[in-house]
Amino acid sequence: MFPLLSHLLRRRVLAAAPELLAPLFFRSHSTVAAPAARKPTTVVAVLWDLAASRPPTTLPLYDAAVRLHLAATSLGRLRLSAAFVHPTHRLPPPAATTHLCRVCGRRFRTRDVLLRHFDAIHAREHAKRLARIDSSRGDRRVRLAAALSLKLSKYEKAARELTAGADTAATPADELGRAGIRVALTSTPAASLRERAQQVLDEGSVGCLMLVSGKADLASLLRVARERGVRSVVVGGESRLARWADVGFNWADIISGKARNAAPSVSVKWRDMDVLKGLEWRYEEVDDEEEMVFEDSDGNGVEELARRAKGKPWWKLDFDDENSNVSG
């Protein structure tokens, strides 16, 4: 009777509180939180010469600028983003020849046909859904609104895109401005970029300089940045300028997200190099002349001998010549 009762009590204890019987090792390790990843704190400046480094025409300029910003913010804290554009620069024609309906996925040859389709079908369906929700009461209204929320949000998003598409920016300055890039219209974009980059280096306010250009004339600027301890990143494809930079990316890496994924490892590598550079031993030449000390002498003539010995080898001392003359 008693062994059976003790067995039942043991089973109840194990079922009620199994964590009390867990080993101390597992309990201590389960409460330890994983260390948070360190975010790069390097201040980054992005300077873009649109004429020397153009993104692919398959992607809108606004999307390319946004992905460039994502890659830059992965390297550190973005402080400056400026683009230098020629006033006569125009956007290339869009590569897509069809217009896509964001609600049903149908494609149309012209925008007018798409608008007529949207008003005739999707606008009416949207009005019917809203009428059903308005006519409902109580819990049925809540359940119906929750069931139709995805379709309502999808229609509203597609309607916003159609409304914004009517006023599409025709200049690259407008597209870059939408992406948060300061645009400077200049007839000499390369010279303006060099001047602004030199100003940034003189201020010493950034730790990483990202140049979006393919001009090989900017190699001297990258050498100055390396001398001042500023990291350099070049976005411009296979150009000679990328050879002078610490890291080089092409537009395919920026658009696909490869540059953004590689940025944390690059930041860790730079931080390790800075630590090793601080621990590096350097030889410092001592200019002070060592004083000669004679412990066994009584001090008579020591100062005179030390004065004669400075700057001469021991076998060319003056008293050796005097002794040889006396013996002769």
DSSP letters for 170-213 = -SHHHHHHHTT-EEEE-S-HHHHHHHHHHHHHHHT--SEEEEE-
pLDDT at residue 25 greater than cutoff 80: no
pLDDT at residue 128 in the model: 94
- 43-91+173-277, what's its fold? Rossmann fold (3.40.50)
pLDDT at residue 136 in the model: 92
Nearest to 262 by CA among 74, 111, 51, 121: 74
Instruction: For residue range 240-266, list pLDDT tens digits in order.
Output: 787 888 888 989 999 998 888 988 888
Range 96-124 average pLDDT: 87
Q: Which residues contact 225 (CB under 8 A, 6 or more apart)?
A: 201, 209, 231, 232
pLDDT at residue 272 in the model: 77
pLDDT at residue 287 in the model: 54
Residues 45/209, Cβ–Cβ less than 8 Å: yes
Structure tokens at 71: 């890659």
Range with the poorest average pLDDT among 103-117, 148-162, 171-185, 286-300: 286-300
Range 298-308 average pLDDT: 58
Other C-beta atoms lying within 10 Å of the C-beta of residue 171: 16
Residue 48 pairs in a beta bridge with 83, 212
pLDDT at residue 266 in the model: 82
Q: What is the mean pLDDT of the chain?
A: 77
pLDDT at residue 215 greater than cutoff 90: no
* Of 98 and 108, the one with more pLDDT: 108
* Of 155 and 40, the one with more pLDDT: 155
Report the C-alpha gap between 257 and 265 in whole angstroms: 14
Label residue 298 by pLDDT band (50, 70, 90): low
- E strands, the chain, in order: 43-49, 77-85, 99-100, 107-108, 182-185, 208-212, 231-235, 247-249
Residue labelled with tokens 């001297």: 220
Range 223-228 average pLDDT: 90
pLDDT at residue 18 in the model: 47
Instruction: For residue range 261-290, list pLDDT tens digits in order.
Output: 988 888 788 777 777 777 766 666 655 555
Structure tokens at 9: 């009590």
Q: Which of 1-15, 153-167, 171-185, 198-212 has the highest mean pLDDT?
A: 198-212
- E strands, 12-155, in order: 43-49, 77-85, 99-100, 107-108
Report the C-alpha gap between 200 and 188 in whole angstroms: 19
pLDDT at residue 315 greater than cutoff 80: no
Residues 254/64, Cβ–Cβ less than 8 Å: yes
Label residue 174 by pLDDT band (50, 70, 90): confident
Range 156-168 average pLDDT: 76
pLDDT at residue 135 in the model: 93
pLDDT at residue 123 greater than cutoff 50: yes
Instruction: For residue range 76-95, list pLDDT tens digits in order.
Output: 899 999 999 888 877 665 55
